[in-house]
């Protein structure tokens, strides 16, 4: 996997999982954001994440897009 996208309450978190993912993301974001992206600290609107996922997939990257995740309380 090169890029992981995980939906959160306020958008979609981007995490680079390989050097290919990091390099590809660097071509799509300003250099001011690169450190935050490398550390998994960036959240973008879910609509933009969908476009980013499609673009990265077309470029040959492996993208894991977790669209929703629910946690159940322990009994």
Side-chain-facing half-sphere of 35: CA atoms under 13 Å: 1
SS3 string of 59-70?
CCCCEEEECCCC
Identify the burial level of 34 via C-beta atoms within 10 angstroms of its C-beta, where 0-12 means exposed, 13-18 middle and 19 or more buried. middle
Entry pTM: 0.83
Contact 17/51 with Cβ under 8 angstroms? no
Give residue-wise pLDDT tens across range 10-64: 999 999 999 999 999 999 999 999 999 989 999 999 999 999 999 999 999 999 9
- The domain segmentation of the chain, as residue ranges, is 3-66
């Amino acid at each position: 996997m090169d890029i992981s996208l995980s939906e959160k309450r306020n958008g979609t978190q981007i995490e680079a999982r390989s050097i290919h993912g990091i390099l590809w993301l660097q071509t799509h974001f300003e250099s001011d954001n690169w450190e935050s992206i490398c550390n998994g600290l960036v959240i973008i609107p879910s609509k933009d994440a969908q476009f980013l996922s499609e673009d990265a997939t077309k470029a040959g990257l492996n993208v894991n897009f977790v669209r929703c995740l629910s946690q159940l309380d322990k009994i």
